[in-house]
């Protein structure tokens, strides 16, 4: 929960003002489950942070595999629900 709260607070701060953007790099592994579980409630507590149009997400350890592949970081977030789709 502490990590999710830090992310939500940073997103809210970065998104303030017109054209504000929040950039975050995500790795895979256990971070996927942590953020899938803890980030939605943290974003609910900080509605200014929850606007996905202000987020730029980069997958830091993405492999050259299709999203359906078990080693795809993007695919892991997408399946977990943390990837927004």
- Cβ(82)–Cβ(36) under 8 Å? yes
Q: Which range of residues forms the domain containing residue 63?
A: 2-81
The pLDDT value given to residue 4: 94
pTM across the whole model: 0.77
Q: How far is CA 58 from CA 17, 20, 27, 28, in A?
A: 22, 17, 9, 11
| Residue 26, helix vs strand vs coil | strand
Burial of 79 (0-12, 13-18, 19+ CB in 10 A): middle
Q: Dump pLDDT digits (tens) for 22-68.
A: 999 998 888 999 999 999 999 998 888 888 888 999 888 767 888 88
Into how many domains does the chain fold? 1
């Amino acid at each position: 929960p502490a990590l999710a709260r830090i992310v939500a607070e940073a997103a809210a701060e970065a998104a303030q003002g017109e054209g504000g953007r929040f950039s975050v790099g995500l790795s895979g592994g256990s971070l996927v489950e942590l953020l899938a579980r803890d980030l939605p409630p943290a974003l609910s507590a900080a509605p200014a942070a929850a606007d996905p149009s202000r987020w730029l997400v980069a997958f830091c350890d993405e492999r050259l595999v299709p999203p359906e592949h078990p080693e795809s970081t993007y695919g892991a977030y997408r399946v977990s629900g943390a990837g927004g789709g």
